[in-house]
A and B are shown apart, each in its own frame.
Chain A
Amino acid sequence: MKKSVGRFVKIALISFIAFFAFSCATSKPLYSWYDYQKDYYNYIKKADNKSLDELIKTYEKIIEKQKATRGTVPPGVYADYGYILMKKGKTAEAKAMFAKEVELYPESEVFVGSILKRLAK
């Protein structure tokens, strides 16, 4: 009896540890965002050149360095970065970014693809 109780406790403890280890593993971020949320908010709020430059730098960092679970650029980053480049008159670079968004996330075709087509005209 004592032995079986001990075994039960052992199994329960192992399951518990496994459960916690599992929980920890799943809470890992999918993407590296760096200061994206702060920089994006500041850009919306201030809309000046300094906040725009900071946001651009963060987009570039997100595109270059992905260390999180998926190891790929998060949804929307190529597209928004491209959009800002387009507004700065850098059409060729903008097109390349839109194309990357559609390549990485084909579901963006309806929206991002339509802008890409408009630029190609």
Chain B
Amino acid sequence: MKKIITHISAVLLTFLVMSCTSLTKEVAFPKMYEEKPVIFLIMPPINNSNNADAKDYFYTTLNVPMAEAGYYVLPPVMTMETLQRESAYDSERFINGDLKKFRQMFGADVAVFTVIKDWRKAPIGAKIIIEIDYIFRSTKTNEIIYRRDGKIVCDTSTGFNSSGSLLGSLVKLTADAVKTAVTDYWSIAVSCNQVALSDMPYGKYHPQYGADGKMTAMPTKVDMTSSK
């Protein structure tokens, strides 16, 4: 009994020490807490990967996680067509530029830029490797208020139990290959956003708005794994 108690205490202590030394959201993203943005504008992603569709995978899946974090996200269908009409569809032109225009046109507090650096299949297994930089810039100050530069390995495997036999392994390998081929790739973007943006400070529509400053944040640059 005593031994168990010692073990539990050791685990708890380690946990507490780790919690104390870990990065918190208010330390990692102070400008999010100072500016308290409400309105998010999702800019068309900048796609530097070899997958031409990656831009659509991300544009169509970004508004949900931002709304779920408690923000007002401008209607994506309407804003996309307006940006096209106003010749502001080219995010490369604005990623380092002045964002005042978006504040006037849309009332946006934050412009969300994404740079898709890579989207490729891993040579073995049912994995997709995505490298993406999420950059949130304030339209008031033009400063970056949140950033996540992530390499995310998304496991799309079937979870088929190979039971260790060679035949089993082959079956799994084939099943995984087929699954990767027919996977709805937009859903990989969904899980990628989910893990990469999981430490976003909460916005005004979230029940924990203003009370999440002490929660753990990740460093800007991360290597992560996600599964569908």
Contacts and interface: CB of A to CB of B under 8 A. Distances in A.
Contact of B77 (A29, A80, A109, A112): A80
B75 A37 contact: no
A60 to B, nearest CB: 15
Contacts of B190: 37
Looking at chain B's contact residues, the main secondary structure is helix
Nearest to B104: A110
B12 A12 contact: yes
Contacts of A36: 64
Contact of A26 (B72, B77, B81, B208): B208
A12 B107 CA distance: 47
Contact of B205 (A30, A33, A84): A30
B173 interface: no
Contacts of A76: 63, 67, 72-76, 78
B8 to A, nearest CB: 6
A97 to B, nearest CB: 10
Contacts of B60: 37, 40-41, 44
Interface in B1-52: 5, 8-9, 12, 38-39
Interface residues of A, number: 38
Contacts of A83: 75, 77-78, 81
Interface in A70-121: 70, 74-77, 79-80, 83-84, 101, 105, 107-112, 115
Interface string B61-75: 101100110111111
B90 interface: no
Contacts of A84: 77
Interface residues of B, number: 40
A33 B68 CA distance: 10
B75 A79 contact: yes
B57 interface: yes
B107 A107 contact: yes
A67 interface: no
B101 interface: no
A45 B205 contact: no
A1 to B, nearest CB: 11
Given A75-B67, A111-B79, A30 B72 contact: no
A44 B56 contact: yes
B105 interface: yes
A109 B107 contact: yes
Contacts of A74: 67
B57 A30 contact: no
B68 A45 contact: no
Interface of A: 5-6, 8-9, 12-13, 16, 26, 29-31, 33, 36-38, 40-41, 44-45, 69-70, 74-77, 79-80, 83-84, 101, 105, 107-112, 115
22 contacts: A30-B206, A36-B64, A37-B190, A38-B186, A41-B60, A41-B186, A75-B72, A75-B74, A76-B76, A77-B75, A80-B76, A80-B77, A83-B75, A83-B78, A84-B77, A107-B38, A107-B107, A108-B74, A108-B75, A111-B74, A111-B78, A111-B105
